[in-house]
Structure formats: structure tokens, C-alpha cells
Copies of this chain bind each other. A is one copy, B any other.
Amino acid sequence: MINDASLLVQPDEYGLLTDLYQLTMAACYVGEGLDQRRASFELFVRRLPEGFGYLIAAGLASALDYLEKFQFTPEQLAALQATDIFTGATAEFWHLLASGRFCGDVWAVPEGTAIFANEPILRVEAPLWQAQIVETYLLNAINYQTLIATRAARLRDVAGPEAKLLEFGTRRAFSPQASLWAARAALAGGLDATSNVLAALKLGRKPVGTMAHALVMAITALEGSETDSFEAFHRYFPGAALLIDTYDTVAAAQRLGKKMPEALAGVRLDSGDLVTLSQQVRQELPEVPIFASGDLDEQEIWRLRQAGACIDGYGLGTKLVTGSPVNGVYKLTDIDGIPVMKESSGKFTYPGRKQIFRSASGDRLGLATESAPTDAEELLIPVMRHGQRLEHVETLDTIRTRASQSVAQLPETVRDVSHPEVPQAEISTALQTLTDCTRRSQLATVS
């Protein structure tokens, strides 16, 4: 079981990719004879991240891939038994883990859809023990990819449809796999391309890139001048932008304007006052696209555009792929037909199996058993039944188009990237009634 130092995840390790308490709770359910009870869990956020008016759902493809492959190998079960944690567990528990593939149903909002607080992105209906164990991975998959797709959609929205938006975050992403997930979700949310070669090839895309300071410094030192470095790189990669801020940005642009024989595909600025520098570079190289990079985010791009910066494309890294997370949670809402809710201070949840009804007048959060209001769309659709995927995997282009249309339909006040209005779904009468009733019922029985 002890692996190499890079802690790569293998496809047959999905069962163990969970918090210990999911397994101990499953063992308790088995011991109590409750493991096959039908449970509904819903995945949603209580609050959007600070400064966000909406989220773009993403990560469903990974979640379904996980559920299809979920299993425990005999070696893994032996390793669990060797921990001495499960001495109270029954033989039936080990049998369930050994035999159990995920056999539940899943409803989900399609990737690329805008969603809001308290709206389920996904619902799992499955035997209690299974629905419990899969919580950790499902949250891991949806939380991060939704964050990145949302940031990408916001970036696209402030940068405008013509801007080139490039994902450059691999060096700052939180592990290699995070860099791949970030690349996929960024493309799904509205970015144009990624510099991550492995991600691009896995996703069937062409990777992109410019050049780095190291090349300028190495060739300047070895061959004599910054201009030598530009000419050398341009010789092999005439389609790539040149990085011109290693020593003196404006001087470099002036020299390029005088000496560069062929048309330049672009220049990149990675430091300094991007407003002034981009205007000066535009003066020197009026026909050349200007790319900017260096800790940029949607607020900074908004500021640059307001200030009249002459920038045609942006490299997005650190502030796209790291930072505060989407804090999705996964809560039991119904067990064997009994609606349940959490009443912890500040962490209240709505009971019951829910549906999101979206119409021109806004979202209504209701029960899955309610009829949709006239003209309303039901956002949660079945995506897996009895552990079998119901639809083909959507392409990134499909998801990206949906994300773009989702954002375009939102009010400008919700799309504001600094101080957005934060929509709250209306609660249907049926859901409100169930909530009141469940609270009274729980009050009577908790003691």
C-alpha cells in the first residue's frame, strides 16, 4: 500500500479515497441493519464565495467517472482490517465493501449551468452505506471544478468575447492533478486554452504558450543581447508571443519595432504598471497583440480595461487556480421516505428531495415531487440510474456554450465581479411546509 513519494492516485483506489468516518459510519449502518435503507443526499453551497454572484456548476464528469469505478480490492480491505479500527465491524460489512459497486441513482445540474446558494448541484439516491461513503470524493470533485469554472466565466465576462484568455496556473496549482482539473474547468468556463501540455493533450486541445525570462537571460548572456534572444525564439516559433519585460520593457518594444523583420504574433508583459506600459508598447508596435500576465484576476482585468490599458489577451495563473474554495456540502435530506434536516447553529439545511425550477422571474427551490411552474425549467436531471450512466459524456464545447449562455442570462448586477447582487431562490410553499413540519417532528424526537 505504501506508494511513491508523488502520491499519485490510481483508478482502483477510488474506494479508499474517502474520510475514515464514512467507512466507520457505513459499518455502523450495517451493524444496525440500516445499510440498505434508501438515502437521498444533496450537494449544495450554503453561501457563495465572497464577491461571487453565481456559480457555474462543474465536475460532474469526474463525479460520474468515480461512481462508475468505485470499488475496494481484496488488498485494500486487508489493509483496512490491519488498522485495528474496525474490530467492531461485522463480516457483512466486509462482504458489502468487497462486492459493492455503486448502484444508486444520481440527479444533477448539467456542467456549465449557473446556480446559486442552497440549490442542489447533485443528488445521490442510494443505499445508505454507499451514499455515505461517496460523499468525500463527490465534494472534492464538484467543489474545485465549480470554483475554477466560475472564475473562468467571470474572467470571460469582464475581459469581453474578443480577449484571448489563457490558463497558465500549473506551477501554482495544488498538485499535478489539480492543474489538470483546473485546465479542464477553465476551458469549460470560458478560457480559450491552457499551457499545460498533458492537460491539453488529454482534453484533445492544442496547448499554448509564449516564452519565459530564462530564455531571454540565457541567450542574452551567451549570445550578447536581448534582441538575439527574440530573434532566436522567433526563428523556431514565429507564432509565439515574445516576453519583453526582462530588462526594460519600452526599450525592448522600441528595438522590436525597428529591427524585427517579420510580423510578430504578440508580446507579453509580466510586470510593472500594465496600463502605462501597454499604452507605450502599443505606440511602438501598433499592429502587435499585447498579452499581460502576473497575478491577474477578474477585478484587476476590470480595472485595467477601465483605465484604458491596451491589452488583447491575458495569462491567468495563481489567482485562477488557488485561493478560497467553493464550500460545497453534502447533506442527508431524506432517509427511507422520511425527510430530515440539520438544525446546527448557522448550518440549517432544507429537508426533502428537491428540484430547482428556473424561469424568467428567477429560481424557485421546491420538492422533486412538485409540478414545475408554467414556463419553468427543471435544472436537476437524471444522469445515473442503478449505477449506470444515462448520457454520453458532454464535450467541453457543449459545457462552455452552456456556461456562456448561463452568464448572459444573468442580470448585470449579479455579474458584477466586485460587489454583486446575490440572488436567493424563492422557497416553494410545499418545501416551506415540509421544512416547518420536519422541524416540529424532529423537535419531538431528538431527545
Contact = CB atoms under 8 A, between A and B. Distances in A.
Interface of A: 1-11, 13, 16-25, 27-29, 31-32, 34, 37, 39, 41, 61-62, 64-66, 76, 79-80, 83-85, 88-89, 128, 132, 135-137, 139-141, 143-144, 168, 170-182, 184, 195-204, 206-215, 217-227, 232-233, 235-240, 245-248, 251, 255, 270-273, 318, 321-325, 327-328, 330-332, 335-336, 338, 340-347, 393, 442, 445-447
A198 B9 contact: yes
A1 to B, nearest CB: 5
B170 A181 contact: no
Nearest to A18: B197
A172 B445 contact: no
A7 B237 contact: no
Given A171-B143, A345-B271, A211 B37 contact: no
B140 A179 contact: yes
A344 B227 contact: no
Contact of A181 (B7, B13, B32, B195): B7
Contact of A62 (B5, B64, B217, B255): B5
Copies of this protein in the assembly total 2
A90 B136 CA distance: 48
A256 to B, nearest CB: 12
Contacts of A221: 335-336, 338, 340, 445
B19 A209 contact: yes
A202 B447 contact: no
A214 B18 contact: no
A218 B34 contact: yes
Contacts of A200: 20
A198 to B, nearest CB: 4
A45 B362 CA distance: 47
Given A6-B62, A140-B175, 18 more contacts: A1-B201, A2-B204, A5-B61, A5-B62, A9-B177, A28-B236, A29-B215, A37-B222, A83-B207, A132-B212, A139-B172, A171-B328, A174-B322, A214-B331, A218-B335, A246-B344, A271-B346, A322-B324
